[in-house]
């Protein structure tokens, strides 16, 4: 007999509601429940904490936490744009858009709504709030005509909103009722320093101002009249005066609500109604609302664990472990507001009888204050403004609850070189509640890379502030296991790629034998190395000197494809890919290529990189094919190298009626500039001519999107096995700036990346991530800028078409005589290829026709379904 | 099997592999200077494709190997055994120099 699964309904698809579903699926509870989520917004869950990032790309894409497809894949029903209007807690049913929905277990994750103070005129035109993507769209719309904007509220969210207005180019002012900014987290002096820093950025800050009314302005749309008789004029207003729990649904059906709002929950996150949980900002626990995401995530975890326990209890299996309980949450936080680093820990505003130590460095713009208990032995809170480097250290001291070992003042002057000693239960990542012990366990299990730890523990994948500490724990744990942390690339060298690169550069090493004799672990007269260290060395020599890769010194180092300047295929034949910069090709060249392909019986396929790949070339035919291609004006496409592949592009404003810049012209110029650059892994670019992004630039290592004012640069995107959207690196660049940044980024990557590390993983492995890369490239924090640019110009200047060079080199051409005694060959079986869809394929391959797909549409065999992409066919 | 002449000694390129026909079979020959000349099956048993002469030479623990250019399995030049998969192995050939010629044969 088939038993219906119990119904689990979640109301709300914000960050906490989404985290609940993630946790649920992680514990595979989605198998035991029929799970449905109702979200009131039209989009699935997105990252509300990073909301102002929306304005960097004017798109919600980079904020999305999940897609509808992700939910479907887990078998979780997701219904968006749905308003739940009633809960009948006795009959366990909901009303959703007039329809009745039953539940066995209900989770309320309805979040909060922005509080708009009851000021006369608060409903005037362009008086907005800041919470959802819809709100952002309204702000963006209003900003197209506005010149100035005011944010009412100088708290954490208010300053985020001010950041957004300022990014939209408005003359921005912050109006705060209290006598200081961020009065929940900071004390007066911390708030004062923050104010000075924000004013230095050109924003207006108005404290102790109570807005009495909003009326018509004289020079702008609105005038705010303050109670002290002063006023401020502005074109638009954003209210950010705090949040209120979204408890209306629970309130109407009689679930217990706190005096000042919030759905009352117990330690199990259960409300007063049977089988109804509440989590996140709508929930009130011991008279507290938690307005940060981390405590909401904890509540989600608790609710999942309680539901799991219930399932076990019902199945009569005794529960193996006690379910989690919510025991309150640490509200410590570290963030960057308007570019200013701010952090608060514990009781950051002090308390009665508290002791303290304080550091105020006006010159350096740094303020720190530590609050201690009455005995001065225990750290109870801290405020940091201007420099938050000590945050992790102080937070772990605070969370450990242990007495200070040294006088508190020493905590203000932490010696960076002194090792940080963390307790096993210390929480390293407070976004995802990851302890040191969690990380150590994974390192011992063999995960030694920061990127791996990020993906399996989620540590450092929230705000990323703990990345340096996580790296340190990885290193310490590996050392404790007796492992080398500077693990070498292979059994011949104790150095990683970056160290080898450095050695070759500093010691001017340009051949493998020299490198081997100087730096290999064990001596060997042959100095053969292996298939790992030889190609790495070849790539390093190529990046440093850009010599002909098949010259006598380097030829024996090249990997399968580079060694014959072709892409080795499964049957031992090669594929040939000439460069078609930007995907622009003349009809004459197309015809020429077609004739050559026909002459040598090559299978042809358009690649994902907008060029043409010709397959099935015999080793011995490669020189002849290339001399014909070169005669027709083609050059090598470097498809065989770990090097720049293609710069994909849309057609741009020369033809397209939406384009705002000549994306195709730029793509061709960029491809010609960087062609031939050897790198740790292949590199792909794309240039789009407008925000419609037809060239898919955000999935490339280097992506450029045209704007009205210049170019937006995205970096370290990736398709392939682990897709990653590129990060917005800089906006509205001139072409000169763009090229200078790309020069620096690519050279810095080739210098510092690990072997076969794509830019996406490289960026994730950089401690400090995107901000660190921006500081190195834009602010030149390492003083490397000029050197990186000059190295790149050396490479650009020494470009050569390797096939052109090779065809003039008799020694090289001998490599294509595969057999030394061809006359002794046995009589060949000539049926090496089969013909399908009018082209050839290896005899051993099964060429599918997918009858189930084509049936009824066309004759079998008409549709090419085989997916051959440069991604897949290149090793 | 008898000794079979492959080529002139001078014709054999140094420090890289080249394929040769020996009694109708494709053989990969590697000339490593003072360290000797080695010959193995040219067909990679992992894929059945004739490519081993195009692989990279490697040295692990004083033993010589060639890495298949297709999927990088390592085959010993002296025993024919595959480092990654015990089930795979290839034939190795004896080589001798005689009056300026290179000769090969399968060991009995």
* CATH number of the domain to which B62 belongs: 2.102.10.10
Q: Does the structure show a pLDDT above 60 at A243?
A: yes
CA-CA distance, A620 to A633, in Å (whole number)? 22
Q: Which among B33, B53, B56, B71 is the top mutation candidate for probing chain A, defined by the most A β-carbons within 10 Å of its own β-carbon? A: B56
pLDDT of residue A462: 63
Going by pLDDT thresholds of 50, 70 and 90, the confidence category of residue B25 is very high
In a domain, A551, yes or no: no
pLDDT of residue A486: 53
Read off the pLDDT of residues A499-556 as tens digits, 9 standing for 90 and up. Answer: 899 889 888 899 999 999 999 988 888 889 999 999 999 999 999 988 888 888 888 8
Distance (Å) from the C-alpha of residue B89 to the closest C-alpha of chain A? Answer: 19
Going by pLDDT thresholds of 50, 70 and 90, the confidence category of residue A77 is very high
Q: Are residues A101 and A249 in the same domain?
A: yes
Facing residue for B58 by CB, picked from A530, A814, A820: A530
Read off the pLDDT of residues A290-300 as tens digits, 9 standing for 90 and up. Answer: 888 889 999 99
Q: Does the structure show a pLDDT above 70 at A657?
A: yes
Q: Which residues pair with A343 in a beta bridge?
A: A334, A384
Q: Are residues A652 and A775 in the same domain?
A: yes
Nearest to A582 by CA among A526, A644, A631, A642: A644
In a domain, A265, yes or no: yes
The domain containing residue B45 runs over which residues? Answer: 4-105
Greater confidence (A458 vs A264) lies with A264
> How large is the average pLDDT for residues A62-88?
89
Q: Does the structure show a pLDDT above 60 at A278?
A: yes
CA-CA distance, A714 to A698, in Å (whole number)? 6
Question: For residue B56, which residues of chain A lie inside 8 Å, CB to CB?
Answer: 530-531, 534-535, 556-557, 559-560, 563
Q: Which of A241, A270, A298 is the last residue of a domain?
A: A241
Q: Does the structure show a pLDDT above 50 at A817?
A: yes
The domain containing residue A840 runs over which residues? Answer: 833-873
DSSP A609: T
Q: Does the structure show a pLDDT above 90 at B39?
A: yes
CB contact under 8 A, B49 and A572: yes
CA-CA distance, A561 to B72, in Å (whole number)? 13
In a domain, A686, yes or no: yes
pLDDT of residue A53: 76
- Other residues' Cβ atoms within 10 Å of the Cβ of residue A89: 19
Read off the pLDDT of residues A187-216 as tens digits, 9 standing for 90 and up. Answer: 888 899 999 989 988 899 999 999 999 999
pLDDT of residue A261: 92
Q: Does the structure show a pLDDT above 80 at A314?
A: no
ipTM confidence score: 0.95
CB contact under 8 A, B69 and A563: yes
pLDDT of residue A417: 44
Strand order in the sheet with A105-108: A77-79, A34-38, A7-11, A105-108, A276-278
Q: Are residues A132 and A257 in the same domain?
A: no
Q: Are residues A210 and A276 in the same domain?
A: no
Question: For residue A493, which residues of chain B lie inside 8 Å, CB to CB?
Answer: none
Q: Are residues A74 and A40 in the same domain?
A: yes
pLDDT of residue A872: 38
> How large is the average pLDDT for residues B69-90?
91
> How large is the average pLDDT for residues A58-72?
84
Distance (Å) from the C-alpha of residue B108 to the closest C-alpha of chain A? Answer: 22
CB contact under 8 A, B21 and A555: no
Read off the pLDDT of residues A487-499 as tens digits, 9 standing for 90 and up. Answer: 678 889 988 888 8
- Helix (H) or strand (E) segment spanning residue A367: strand A366-372
Q: Are residues A781 and A664 in the same domain?
A: yes
Q: Are residues A692 and A773 in the same domain?
A: yes
Question: For residue A557, which residues of chain B lie inside 8 Å, CB to CB?
Answer: 56
Read off the pLDDT of residues A691-711 as tens digits, 9 standing for 90 and up. Answer: 999 999 999 999 999 999 999
Facing residue for A572 by CB, picked from B18, B21, B50: B50
Greater confidence (A113 vs A405) lies with A113
Q: What average pLDDT does the structure give for chain A?
A: 88
Is residue A438 within 8 A of residue A454, CB to CB? The reply is: no
CA-CA distance, B88 to B86, in Å (whole number)? 5
Read off the pLDDT of residues B45-71 as tens digits, 9 standing for 90 and up. Answer: 999 999 999 999 999 988 999 999 998
Greater confidence (A3 vs A780) lies with A780
**Interface check B1 vs A, CB under 8 A:** no
Distance (Å) from the C-alpha of residue A643 to the closest C-alpha of chain B? Answer: 19
Q: For residue A563, give Cα distances in angstroms to A504, A678, B53, B77.
A: 22, 14, 12, 20
pLDDT of residue A480: 78
pLDDT of residue A407: 82
Positive/negative CA dihedral, A674, A680, A684, A690: negative
**Interface check B76 vs A, CB under 8 A:** no
pLDDT of residue A312: 78
pLDDT of residue A80: 93
CA-CA distance, B39 to B91, in Å (whole number)? 9
> How large is the average pLDDT for residues A703-727?
90
Distance (Å) from the C-alpha of residue A556 to the closest C-alpha of chain B? Answer: 7
**Interface check A556 vs B, CB under 8 A:** yes
Read off the pLDDT of residues A468-479 as tens digits, 9 standing for 90 and up. Answer: 778 878 888 887
- Other residues' Cβ atoms within 10 Å of the Cβ of residue A799: 15
Facing residue for A564 by CB, picked from B7, B54, B70: B54
Facing residue for A571 by CB, picked from B49, B53, B54: B49
Residue A102, classed as helix, strand or coil, is: strand
pLDDT of residue A861: 43
Selection from A28-32, A233-237, A374-378, A779-783 with the highest mean pLDDT: A233-237
Tokens of A167: 């990014």
Question: For residue A815, which residues of chain B lie inside 8 Å, CB to CB?
Answer: 16
Among chain B residues, the shortest Cα distance to A523 is held by B62
Distance (Å) from the C-alpha of residue A759 to the closest C-alpha of chain B? Answer: 24
Q: Are residues A647 and A778 in the same domain?
A: yes
pLDDT of residue A755: 85
Q: Are residues A780 and A673 in the same domain?
A: yes
Q: Are residues A277 and A262 in the same domain?
A: yes
* Ramachandran assignment for A764, one of left (phi > 0), alpha (psi -120 to 50 degrees), beta (any other): alpha
Q: Does the structure show a pLDDT above 50 at A864?
A: no
Q: Does the structure show a pLDDT above 90 at A719?
A: no
CB contact under 8 A, A531 and B51: no
CA-CA distance, A494 to A658, in Å (whole number)? 54
CATH number of the domain that A721 lies in? 3.30.413.10
> How large is the average pLDDT for residues A42-69?
82
CB contact under 8 A, B20 and A572: no
The count of structural domains within chain B is: 1
> How large is the average pLDDT for residues A546-574?
91
**Interface check A590 vs B, CB under 8 A:** no
Q: Does the structure show a pLDDT above 70 at A3?
A: no
The count of structural domains within chain A is: 4
> How large is the average pLDDT for residues A157-168?
88
Q: Does the structure show a pLDDT above 70 at A283?
A: yes
**Interface check A555 vs B, CB under 8 A:** yes
In a domain, A773, yes or no: yes
CA-CA distance, A686 to A705, in Å (whole number)? 8
Among chain B residues, the shortest Cα distance to A553 is held by B15
In a domain, A697, yes or no: yes
> How large is the average pLDDT for residues B68-90?
91
- Burial label, B20 (beta-carbon count in 10 A; 0-12, 13-18, 19+): buried
CB contact under 8 A, A819 and B57: no
What is the separation of C-alpha A477 from the centre of its chain, rounded to a whole number of angstroms? 26
CATH number of the domain that A73 lies in? 3.50.50.60
pLDDT of residue A487: 63
Q: Are residues A131 and A198 in the same domain?
A: yes
CA-CA distance, B58 to A874, in Å (whole number)? 22
Question: For residue A559, which residues of chain B lie inside 8 Å, CB to CB?
Answer: 56, 69
> How large is the average pLDDT for residues A584-607?
96
> How large is the average pLDDT for residues A641-667?
95
pLDDT of residue A421: 66
Is residue A871 within 8 A of residue A608, CB to CB? The reply is: yes
Nearest to A622 by CA among A564, A561, A557, A550: A564
Q: Does the structure show a pLDDT above 70 at B77?
A: yes
**Interface check A552 vs B, CB under 8 A:** no
Facing residue for A820 by CB, picked from B7, B56, B60: B7
CB contact under 8 A, B58 and A491: no
CA-CA distance, B12 to B97, in Å (whole number)? 12
DSSP A819: B
DSSP A873: H
> How large is the average pLDDT for residues A756-779?
89
Q: Are residues A221 and A270 in the same domain?
A: no
Going by pLDDT thresholds of 50, 70 and 90, the confidence category of residue A336 is confident
């Amino acid at each position: 007999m088939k038993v219906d699964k119990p119904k689990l309904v979640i109301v709300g698809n914000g960050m906490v509601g989404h985290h609940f579903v993630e946790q649920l699926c992680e514990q595979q509870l989605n198998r035991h429940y029929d799970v449905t989520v109702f979200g009131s917004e039209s989009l699935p869950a997105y990252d509300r904490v990073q909301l102002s990032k929306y304005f960097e790309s004017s798109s919600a894409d980079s904020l999305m936490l999940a897609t509808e497809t992700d939910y479907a894949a887990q078998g979780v029903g997701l219904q968006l744009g749905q308003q739940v209007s009633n809960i009948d807690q006795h009959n366990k049913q909901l009303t959703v858009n007039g329809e009745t929905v039953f539940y066995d277990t209900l989770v309320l994750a309805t979040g909060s709504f922005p509080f708009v103070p009851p000021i006369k005129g608060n409903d005037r035109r362009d008086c907005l709030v800041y919470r959802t993507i819809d709100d952002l769209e309204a702000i963006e719309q209003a900003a197209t005509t506005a010149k100035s904007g005011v944010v009412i509220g100088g708290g954490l969210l208010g300053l985020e909103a001010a950041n957004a207005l300022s990014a939209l180019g408005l003359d921005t002012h912050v109006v705060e009722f209290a006598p200081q900014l961020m009065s929940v987290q900071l004390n007066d002096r911390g708030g004062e320093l923050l104010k000075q820093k924000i004013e230095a950025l050109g924003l207006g800050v108005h404290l102790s101002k109570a807005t009495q009314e909003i009326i018509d302005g004289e020079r702008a749309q609105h005038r705010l009249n303050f109670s002290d008789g002063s006023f401020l004029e502005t074109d638009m207003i954003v209210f950010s005066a705090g949040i209120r729990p979204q408890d209306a649904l629970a309130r109407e059906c009689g679930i217990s609500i706190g005096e000042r709002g919030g759905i009352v929950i117990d330690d199990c996150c259960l409300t007063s109604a049977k089988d109804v949980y509440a989590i996140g900002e709508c929930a009130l626990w011991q008279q507290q609302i938690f307005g940060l995401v981390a405590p909401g995530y904890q509540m989600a975890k608790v609710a999942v664990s309680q539901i799991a326990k219930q399932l076990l209890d019902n199945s009569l299996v005794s529960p193996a472990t006690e379910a989690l309980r919510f025991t309150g949450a640490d509200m410590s936080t570290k963030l960057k507001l308007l570019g200013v680093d701010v952090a608060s820990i514990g009781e950051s505003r002090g308390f009665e009888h508290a002791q303290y130590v304080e550091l105020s460095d006006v010159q350096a713009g740094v303020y720190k204050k530590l609050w201690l208990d009455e005995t001065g032995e225990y750290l109870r809170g801290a405020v940091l403004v201007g420099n938050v480097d000590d945050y992790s250290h102080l937070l772990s001291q605070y969370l450990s609850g242990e007495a200070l070992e040294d006088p508190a003042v020493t905590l203000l002057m932490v010696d960076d070189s002194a090792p940080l000693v963390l307790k096993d239960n210390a929480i390293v990542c407070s976004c995802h509640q990851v302890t040191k012990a969690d990380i150590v366990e994974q390192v011992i299990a063999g995960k030694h890379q920061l990127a791996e730890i990020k993906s399996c523990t989620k540590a450092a994948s929230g705000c990323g502030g703990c990345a340096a500490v996580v790296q340190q724990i990885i290193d310490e744990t590996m050392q404790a296991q007796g492992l080398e942390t500077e693990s070498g690339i292979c059994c011949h060298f104790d150095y990683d790629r970056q160290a080898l690169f450095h050695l070759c550069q500093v010691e001017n090493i340009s051949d493998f034998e020299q490198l081997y004799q100087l730096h290999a672990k064990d001596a060997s007269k042959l100095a053969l190395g292996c298939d790992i260290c030889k190609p790495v060395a070849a790539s390093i020599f190529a990046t440093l000197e850009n010599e002909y890769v098949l010259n006598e010194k380097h030829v024996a180092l090249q990997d399968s494809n580079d060694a014959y300047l072709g892409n080795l295929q499964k049957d031992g034949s090669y594929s040939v890919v000439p460069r078609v910069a930007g995907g622009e090709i003349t009809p004459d060249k197309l015809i020429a290529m077609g004739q050559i392909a026909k002459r040598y019986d090559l299978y042809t396929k358009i690649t994902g990189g907008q060029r043409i790949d010709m397959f099935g070339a015999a080793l011995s035919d490669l020189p002849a094919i290339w001399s014909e291609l070169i005669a027709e004006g083609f050059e090598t496409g470097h498809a065989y190298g770990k090097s720049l592949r293609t710069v994909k592009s849309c057609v741009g404003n020369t033809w397209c009626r939406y384009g705002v810049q000549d994306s195709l012209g730029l793509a061709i110029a960029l491809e010609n500039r960087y062609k031939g650059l050897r790198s740790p892994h292949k590199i792909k670019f794309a240039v789009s001519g407008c925000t419609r992004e037809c060239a898919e630039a955000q999935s490339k290592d280097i992506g450029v999107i045209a704007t009205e004012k210049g170019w937006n640069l995205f970096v370290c995107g990736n398709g392939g096995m682990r897709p990653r959207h590129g990060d917005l690196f800089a906006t509205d660049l001139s072409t000169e700036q763009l090229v200078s940044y790309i020069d620096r980024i690519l050279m810095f990557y080739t210098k510092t990346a690990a072997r076969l590390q794509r830019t996406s993983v490289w960026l994730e492995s950089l401690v400090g991530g995107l901000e660190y890369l921006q500081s190195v490239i834009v602010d030149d924090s390492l003083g490397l800028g000029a050197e990186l640019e000059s190295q790149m110009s050396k490479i650009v200047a020494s470009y050569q078409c390797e096939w052109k060079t090779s065809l003039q080199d008799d020694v090289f051409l001998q490599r294509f005589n595969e057999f030394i005694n061809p006359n002794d060959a046995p009589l060949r079986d000539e049926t090496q290829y089969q013909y399908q869809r009018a082209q050839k394929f290896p005899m051993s391959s099964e060429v599918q026709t997918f009858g189930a797909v084509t049936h009824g549409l066309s004759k079998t065999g008409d549709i090419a379904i085989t997916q051959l992409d440069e991604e897949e066919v290149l090793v | 099997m008898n000794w079979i002449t492959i080529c002139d000694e001078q014709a054999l390129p140094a420090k890289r592999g080249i394929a040769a026909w020996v009694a109708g079979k494709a053989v990969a020959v590697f000339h490593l200077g003072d360290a000797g000349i080695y010959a193995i099956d040219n067909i990679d048993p992992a894929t059945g494709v004739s490519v081993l002469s195009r692989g990279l030479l490697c040295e692990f623990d004083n033993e010589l190997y060639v890495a298949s250019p297709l999927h990088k399995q390592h085959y010993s030049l002296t025993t024919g055994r595959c480092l990654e998969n015990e089930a795979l192995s290839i034939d190795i050939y004896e080589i001798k120099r005689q009056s300026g010629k290179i000769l090969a044969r399968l060991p009995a």
